[in-house]
Homo-oligomer: A and B are copies of this chain.
């Protein structure tokens, strides 16, 4: 039961960055997006990825590799069009 809740949680928080990344990529509207948030969040996702590698957890590695990539895309768009 707890495993299932954990996988649903990981899927939801990972997938959630897809609509933000596509919206920002299409609209170029980054005025409402916080640069500080994406600097901190991308660094955090990179740390989660490193943590996954250190503990040898593929679910942590995979979900955070995707999250880190999407967050990085939003960060780059903010730096370019912000």
Contact = CB atoms under 8 A, between A and B. Distances in A.
B16 A48 contact: no
Given A20-B34, A32-B30, A12 B43 contact: yes
A33 B5 contact: no
Do most interface residues of chain A lie in helix, strand or loop, or is the interface mixed? Answer: helix
Copies in the complex: 2
Interface string A35-57: 01111110111011011001100
Interface of A: 1-2, 5-6, 8-17, 19-20, 23-24, 27, 29-34, 36-41, 43-45, 47-48, 50-51, 54-55
Given A15-B40, A41-B12, A41-B13, A33 B48 contact: no
